[in-house]
Amino acid sequence: YKRCRDGMTVNGYTITGPNYFFLNYFQLDDNRVSKAGAGRDTIFPRFKTYQYEFFHYYELCRIYGYNCSMLKNRGCGFSFIVASILDSTYSCYPNSNSVISAYLQSYVDDTMDKVTSGLDFLNEHTDGGFFKARQVENNTMTKKASYYIMIDGQKVETGFMSKITGKVADNSRKVRGDRTNVLVQEEAGSNPILEESVIKGEELVRPGGNRIGVQIIGGTGGDV
């Protein structure tokens, strides 16, 4: 748990917390198959230098108060990395709030599916270490780590209280809500209102001028 928050250093080389979580507690589809059309297994990620560099870049953005952006080629695993960052934030920081925003519903759904698979893996395979009950809000667009208890006959919500929400932002006014620790602008290269959405997003990660979160802006190149 400590390494997933703070990372670890061995022989002068540091793995950041989100990178450690990605390598050890997140699974993705294996591109290596025995034959075409046979389906793919899920595996733990292999260590890759460009991913190691990206996680350090993300960590520097967190430390120095910048947003994080990335231009990428298709199929490099960026959406899996983003999903793992959201899952690690959800799992390691109580009361955290993370948002996936995209111009199209299909883009939000794709990343939320990866987020959900990651959370289900943690609940099933970490011997309870990262288990988070999702009794109050657990649907295709919202995952919240909380449950109900009874106090003096009243049903009270309690728990880790971290949350991940998906939002379809086909209008920049929809990029709004509570203060946000991680705001993902998914498939940015295909978003015709990206600039407006990023500006609106600053109100979530920097409420009242005080930066509390990071926007991760990434996607394959498009028309913008």
The rounded average pLDDT for each run of 10 residues, N- to C-terminus, in the chain (224 residues) is 96 96 91 60 88 96 94 76 97 97 94 96 96 96 97 96 95 82 92 92 91 89 48
**What pLDDT is recorded for position 221?**
53
CA distance linking residue 106 with residue 117, whole number of Å: 17
Place of tokens 């290596």: 32
**What pLDDT is recorded for position 148?**
97
Residue pair 120/153 in contact by the 8 Å Cβ criterion: no
Strand 214-220 to strand 68-72: parallel, antiparallel, or no bridges (unpaired)? parallel
**What pLDDT is recorded for position 29?**
74
Half-sphere exposure of 205 (CA within 13 A, CB side): 25
**What residues have CB less than 8 Å from 127, skipping those under 6 apart?**
none
Cα 14 to chain center, whole Å? 21
**What pLDDT is recorded for position 76?**
67
Q: Cα 24–25–29 angle (5° rounding)?
A: 95
Q: Using the 8-state DSSP alphabet, how is residue 146 labeled?
A: B
**What pLDDT is recorded for position 195?**
92
**What pLDDT is recorded for position 32?**
61
CA 16 → CA 3, 63, 77, 93, 168, distances in Å? 8, 12, 18, 15, 30
**What pLDDT is recorded for position 171?**
86
**What pLDDT is recorded for position 36?**
62
